[in-house]
Amino acid sequence: MKLDVRPMLRGECDRIEVDFELLPFEINGASIDSNVKVLGDIVDTAGYMRLSLSVSFDYSGECARCLTPVNGRYETEFVRTVVSEGTLSEEQLEEDIDEYVVLENGVMDIDEQLREELILDFPMRLLCSEDCPGLCPKCGKPRREGDCGCDLTERDPRWDVLRNYFSEEK
């Protein structure tokens, strides 16, 4: 979405409403079920422009521990300072890239920055619950359904020589 901020730069207004949607995309293994809704505004306070957006969408995926379906709603805030092209040096922009949106000829394109922020901010793994016990590593039965009876003791093969030594001694 390209936002035209030229009326604000000319002094015609001090606030621009933002309301648009991003197309769904896959994010960290979860699929977004609806368009990504973006609402907010750009406010000019004595030459200091601030972009504030609220982002929300419904998602679905699998629990990383037990593979059950997980559905939810994700909401986050996206806040940046708006600067004109050439205002900041390349070093300043590289250092604080997450703090600024740069205007090019009075227009800003925030789609890519917004997608990056969502990818970085969205949980890396989805869980059905924080205390999900996962699956049995031997039989694959969900542990929340109860004990499966599998023997989960693992022996260290490095100790087999000693174990055999003591069994031969008897």
Q: Look at strands 69-84 and 100-103 and give their pairing.
A: parallel
How far apart are the C-alpha atoms of 43 and 2, rounded to whole Å? 16
Mean per-residue pLDDT, 20-40: 89
- Among 80, 116, 87, which residue's Cα sits nearest to residue 104? 87
Mean per-residue pLDDT, 85-101: 73
Question: In the prediction, which pLDDT does 113 show?
Answer: 85
CB atoms within 10 A of CB 51: 22
Question: In the prediction, which pLDDT does 86 show?
Answer: 72
Query: Torsion over CA of 99, 105, 109 and 112, rounded to 10 degrees?
Result: -70
In the numeric block, the tokens 């040096």 are attached to: 89
**Comparison of pLDDT for 166 and 128, the residue scoring more:** 128
- Among 69, 48, 64, which residue's Cα sits nearest to residue 134? 64
Asked if residue 93 has pLDDT above 80, the reply is no
Q: What is the pLDDT of residues 37-65, one digit of tens each?
A: 999 999 988 778 899 999 999 999 999 99
Which residues lie below 8 Å from residue 118, measured CB to CB, with a gap of 6+? Answer: 27, 36, 55, 76
In the numeric block, the tokens 């001694």 are attached to: 169
pTM: 0.74
